[in-house]
């Protein structure tokens, strides 16, 4: 493949290059972060005190602005006392990659400092539970409504103007109202995720359904399909792969609202962990928790993408054992157990 194909407009590149670019997408930010963290002359605006000298109020590991530290050294030398010593460092809110990596491990293995606090895995489980129920409730209502809006103009005109109006209202603004209605436990947090996702979901699903090829509808009508059959046998199957991808994208949207939702009422979940660690200035743990959210989101999306590729093979012509298994499962027990069984005729 010529080098020009790297930047060819809307041209596919080889699988090896796709993998290479995928790895580089993660390595380049990590490289930049490492350069800023480990190369002293790139940034490092502070001085980390290694020896307080004769300055009584200084402590080891205290960080000072370089100019302030230089003034202390000058004052100590002028007074004939022992000046402080230190090394260049970045602000405490920007820990090095190895510190965040260590925090990723210790966050799961270190017992909570305060009695009654949750372990990180318990906080994560609570957040995942909140996301799950918020997204399930939103999808259970939003997807059918979006399909109706995309299929029938009357449903669209009756619903979408109001949905379009409400979607501009920020979901966090409903926080106090949701606490008043549902109390201070998980329910108001789930409600915030539903509000933040549902209205966008209706519009996105409706727009995807409208993209179904009109020729398919005309052909089905020519063959005698009725209104119900047009929706269930033509529109829904034709738009199903794109609807699946829409839900993958909207699931990421739900994660965005999680952080806002979990500070409503009693703080809980991963947001509680992040706020607690930020309060104690343990920013390595804050970065670790944020990375964990990213890892969970990416892993979930990749798993859903893998399943989608095997469920909707007409979008991906690669043979799929996964889809074949389920096709045989629903086709009949004999086909599943004896896929190569010769015909009796």
| Domain boundaries, given as residue ranges, for the chain | 46-89, 109-315
- Residue listed under structure tokens 């260049």: 88
227 within 8 A of 287, measured Cβ to Cβ: no
Alpha helices in the chain (DSSP H): 15-38, 66-79, 97-109, 120-151, 153-166, 175-182, 186-210, 214-222, 227-229, 236-261, 269-279, 283-311, 321-331, 333-337
* Residues 45/24, Cβ–Cβ less than 8 Å: no
Residue 86 has φ and ψ, to the nearest 5°, of: -165, 180
Distance CA 251, CA 125 (A): 17
Quote the pLDDT of residue 193: 93
pLDDT on residue 282: 87
For 199, counting Cβ atoms within 10 Å of its Cβ (0-12 exposed, 13-18 middle, 19+ buried), the class is: buried
pLDDT of residue 328: 59
Tell me the longest C-alpha to C-alpha distance in the chain.
107
Residue 281 CB contacts under 8 Å (≥ 6 apart), including other chains: 92
CATH (residue range 109-315): 1.10.3720.10
CA-to-CA distance for 216 and 237, rounded, in angstroms? 11
CA distance 156 to 161: 8
| Helix (H) or strand (E) segment spanning residue 88 | strand 85-89
**Model-level pTM?**
0.78
Q: Rg (Cα) of the chain, in Å, rounded?
A: 28
Tell me, what's the pLDDT at 308? 86
pLDDT at 255: 87
Residue ranges, the chain, pLDDT below 70 = 1-4, 113-116, 314-345
At 191 the pLDDT is 93
Q: What is the pLDDT of residue 338?
A: 47
Closest CA to 170 of 95, 311, 264: 264
pLDDT score of 140: 96
Identify the pLDDT of residue 337. Answer: 47
């Amino acid at each position: 493949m010529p080098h020009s194909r790297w930047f060819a407009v809307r041209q596919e590149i080889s699988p090896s290059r796709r993998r290479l670019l995928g790895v580089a997408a993660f390595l380049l930010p990590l490289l930049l972060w490492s350069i800023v963290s480990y190369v002293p002359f790139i940034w490092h605006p502070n001085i980390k005190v290694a020896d307080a000298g004769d300055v009584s109020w200084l402590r080891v590991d205290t960080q000072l602005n370089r100019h302030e530290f230089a003034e202390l050294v000058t004052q100590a030398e002028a007074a004939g006392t022992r000046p402080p010593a230190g090394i260049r460092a970045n602000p405490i809110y920007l820990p090095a990659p190895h510190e965040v990596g260590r925090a990723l491990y210790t966050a799961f293995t270190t017992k909570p400092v305060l009695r009654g606090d949750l372990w990180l895995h318990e906080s994560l489980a609570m957040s995942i539970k909140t996301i799950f129920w918020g997204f399930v409730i939103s999808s259970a209502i939003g997807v059918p409504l979006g399909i109706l809006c995309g299929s029938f103009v009357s449903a669209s005109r009756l619903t979408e103007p109001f949905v379009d109006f409400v979607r501009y209202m920020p979901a966090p603004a409903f926080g106090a109202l949701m606490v008043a209605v549902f109390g201070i436990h998980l329910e108001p947090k789930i409600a915030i995720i539903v509000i933040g996702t549902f209205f966008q979901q209706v519009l996105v699903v409706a727009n995807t359904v409208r993209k179904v090829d009109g020729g398919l509808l005309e052909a089905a009508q020519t063959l005698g399909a009725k209104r119900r059959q047009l929706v269930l046998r033509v529109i829904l199957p034709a738009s199903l792969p794109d609807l699946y991808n829409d839900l993958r994208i909207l699931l990421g949207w739900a994660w965005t609202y999680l952080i806002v939702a979990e500070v409503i009422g009693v703080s809980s979940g991963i947001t509680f962990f992040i706020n607690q660690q930020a309060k104690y200035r343990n920013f390595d743990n804050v970065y670790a928790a944020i990375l964990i959210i990213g890892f969970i989101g990416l892993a979930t999306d990749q798993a859903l993408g893998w399943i989608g590729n095997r469920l909707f093979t007409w979008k991906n012509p690669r043979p799929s054992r996964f889809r074949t298994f389920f096709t045989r499962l629903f086709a009949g027990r004999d086909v599943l157990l004896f896929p190569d069984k010769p015909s009796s005729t």
